[in-house]
Amino acid sequence: MSEPMLRVAGLAAGYGRVTVLGGISMEAGRSGNVGLFGPNGHGKTTLLRAVSGLLKPRGGTVRFDGHDITGMSPRAIVDRGLIHVPQGNTLFPDLTIADCLTLGAYAPRARAAEAANRERVLALFPKLGARWRQRVRTLSGGERQMVSIGTALMGDPKLLILDEPTLGLAPKIKDELCKAVFDISRSGVPLIVVEQDVEFLLELTNHLYFINHGQVETEIRPGESLAHSDIMAMYFGH
């Protein structure tokens, strides 16, 4: 079988004296989308940050698109097409939507496709076009999330990581974002998504990792089906 786009093997990471990930393994981008779920504070975000270079791994390897990217800078990893939309709002408040999208296309491989990607982002999120010169600080939470995802798409991702893209959003705007995430997936970009909304995750992904205590406690591979109630049982431990 061919190598998956992303292969994480025995990845260790933590903060100061605290070890969060003792040696976690996963893969993504072979066929379909990958979902990560599990209780709060058990290492999902830490795993994604160690994969995309935002946190230096303490052990293990990350291979992406045929190359070892372990310990590379976030910028070098973005340049290769692995793009991470972090959890929460991490945009610079004084930038306009136009500034953010332009910055998103900074990588050399993204610059060539900048105009086409901008059109694609504005078709996906028409609201961003209507507020083109508006500063991030004046946008709603949902609009900021659209800018974050739009900025990532400007980087022309080969694999896109979304860490809780709908966290804290009201139902109507959440539906809009979920629809956009499906559109991105249908356009051919493989995704890794962390989500608390199990229905959304089951519909979007075909390969799930239940992360508990910094480890993969259960893996549900493509072709293995799982009921909502089984997932709930994992969360609540019965």
Q: Which residues are near ligand ATP by CB under 6 A?
A: 15, 18, 20, 40-46, 87
Which CB sits closer to Mg ion, 42 or 80?
Answer: 42
Binding at 229: pick from Mg ion, ligand ATP, none (beta carbon under 5-8 Å per type): none
> Least distance from C-beta 215 to Mg ion, angstroms?
16
Least Å from the CB of residue 53 to Mg ion: 17
Nearer to ligand ATP, 156 or 163 (CB): 163
Contact residues for 238 (Cβ-Cβ < 8 A; gap 6+): none
Residue 153 tokens, joined: 């798409």
Asked whether 108 and 66 are in contact (CB, 8 A), the reply is: no
Residue 97: what residue type?
Answer: I
CB within 8 Å of 99: residues ≥ 6 apart: none
Between residues 87 and 215, which has the closer beta carbon with respect to ligand ATP? 87
Q: DSSP label at 149?
A: H
> Judging by DSSP bridges, how do beta strands 82-85 and 159-163 pair with one another?
parallel
Q: Does 96 bind Mg ion (CB under 5 A)?
A: no
Q: Could you say which residues in the range 76-95 bind Mg ion, by CB under 5 A? A: 87
Task: Count Cβ atoms below 10 Å from residue 130 Cβ, excluding itself.
Answer: 10
User: Shortest distance, CB of residue 123 to Mg ion, whole angstroms?
Assistant: 29
Minimum Å gap between C-beta 81 and ligand ATP is 23
45 near Mg ion (CB under 5 A):
yes
What is the helix (H) or strand (E) element at residue 220, kind and residue range? strand 215-220
Q: Which does 41 bind (CB under 5 to 8 A by kind): Mg ion, ligand ATP, none?
A: ligand ATP
SS3 content of the chain, % helix, strand, coil (to 5): 40, 25, 35
15 binds, among Mg ion, ligand ATP, none (CB under 5 to 8 A by kind): ligand ATP
Which residues would be at the binding site for Mg ion (CB under 5 A)? 44-45, 87
